[in-house]
Amino acid sequence: MRFADTSGNADTLKALAGMVDSGRIPHAIMFSEPDGGPAFSVALAFLQYLYCHSRRDGDSCGECPSCNRISKLIHPDVHFIFPTTSPNTSLGLMPQFRELALANPCFTEAELGAALGIESKSSLIAVAEAKEVLSSLALSALEGGWRSVVMFLPEKMNQEAANRLLKAIEEPEENTEFILITHSPEKVLQTIASRCQRIQLGAQVRAPQFDEPELLDALMDSLVARDLYAALQAGEQLSALPSRESAKAFCVYAADAMRNVFLEQQGLKLPQTGSGKAREWAPKVRKSFAREALGCFDGARRLVDRNVNLKIIFTDLVDRLYGLI
């Protein structure tokens, strides 16, 4: 995967190449993207440029042994971590992960779950993954150069795993690079996120489309005004959505908006997803609101999947959100 093989984010790609060329490479980078975004492609292109023996014109050659192995996800010094279910580990499921990523580098969380056969189960990055990676990093690089860890969805890492990896991320051995790819930066443990250079990537999102953004605007505006009656009326409108798919699409859209509120409060660049009113809402809600509200919208989406009555779901959602303001 060369920089030329990725689409969009031209300024970011140029900056990543500049890091390598200048020798000023952050020991840990966290890419934030919408689900189905380009971060995995960008991460591979960055590593391929870092490892390449014949860089030219601001890109990897795509032909040397390192480029060849990285592009096939078989480089012995590049390790991948992703959420699994016990007793599975990323290493054990690497053939399935490799097949998916090579066929579609912009895969979604749902597509990953399906490829790994765990779509209906709760997956996480557990301490066993951390132990496995640390054991690998304890060895010298097999090809005498860089060693890298690519972690997909660090927001699914439990506290014990984070504690194991924290020192390695904070004070890595020489020529060791960590790359984290998150869809929910606000959910990543702060002890980990604070050690990373954060880069926001944009993409054309393949998430379900929601065509009535005014429903979220009405809900949030009433919550900000602390008008419970108006908020309940907004909930009634949501419960009248024509299908469960449109209800799920609302929850995804609203979750994107909450991420934008979080990013705005952190002074970070907003992606072109979610509601455009994030800047208006951000200073009017508590700092913890976006994180907690995101959990509410995620929970509502799961209830929609379980065929719970929409009126019950959205009335409960309004009640929970009102308590967070």
pTM for this prediction: 0.66
For the CA atoms of 186, 299, 272, 25, the dihedral, rounded to the nearest 10 degrees, stands at 30
For the CA atoms of 50, 104, 15, 57, the dihedral, rounded to the nearest 10 degrees, stands at 60
DSSP state of 199: E
Q: Using 50 as the pLDDT threshold, list the residues of the chain that sit under it.
A: 204-207, 273-274
Check if the beta carbon of residue 141 is closer than 8 Å to that of residue 147: yes
Domains by residue range for the chain, with CATH: 3-200 (3.40.50.300), 213-324 (1.20.272.10)
pLDDT value at residue 205: 43
- Give the Cα separation of 53 and 167 in Å (integer): 30
pLDDT value at residue 225: 94
Segment 56-89, tens digit of pLDDT: 888 999 889 999 999 999 999 999 999 998 888 8
Where do we find the tokens 């031209």? 10
Q: Which residues pair with 148 in a beta bridge?
A: 78, 177
pLDDT value at residue 276: 61
- Give the Cα separation of 310 and 248 in Å (integer): 10
